[in-house]
Amino acid sequence: MNIRRAIEADIPRIVAIAEAKRGEYEGFSPVFWRKAPDSSPKQELFFQRLLTAADVIALVAETEASLLGFVIGAVTTAPPVYNPGGPVCIVDDFTVANPTEWDSIGAALLAAVEQEAKARGAVLSVVVCAQRDQAKRNLLREAGLTVASEWHVKPI
């Protein structure tokens, strides 16, 4: 397995992995995580912008034959009412192609993005994860992350 910076040519494969995860998350919370009918082209455009942003760390894990997963972190300042001691790395887009490989591929991607974020001055890693995504939650717990916040939702 090789971990490297994501490039524009990776975007269709990254979006395919994200689409599969999006379908899973829609089952977790059908209103909050509702998949847009045109989510793929929208996400392709969004990722194209992210790959050129100076504050973004976009990495992929691959073998010669396939893309195994990806992580996208943004190094940014914390909201002014909080003082974690420096910039934070917010990881919102992060998944693996095979959910049984969070503990290997996911762990390697998380370590790589955190290493790069630390080199850029980040002092805290913030990773988004659905409440019912047990495999990802297990990885995050094993990597030393703790739950700091929860969003509670209901249709109104």
Residue ranges covered by each domain of the chain: 2-142
**Burial (0-12, 13-18, 19+ Cβ within 10 Å), 52:** exposed
Residue 65 pLDDT grade (very low, low, confident, very high; cuts 50, 70, 90): confident
Residue 80 pLDDT grade (very low, low, confident, very high; cuts 50, 70, 90): confident
Residue recorded with tokens 């209103």:
31
Residue 55 predicted with pLDDT over 90: yes
Q: What is the dihedral of CA 35, 126, 114, 65, to 10 degrees?
A: -10
How far apart CA 69 and CA 139 sit, in angstroms, is: 14
Q: What is the pLDDT of residue 137?
A: 97
CATH of domain 2-142: 3.40.630.30
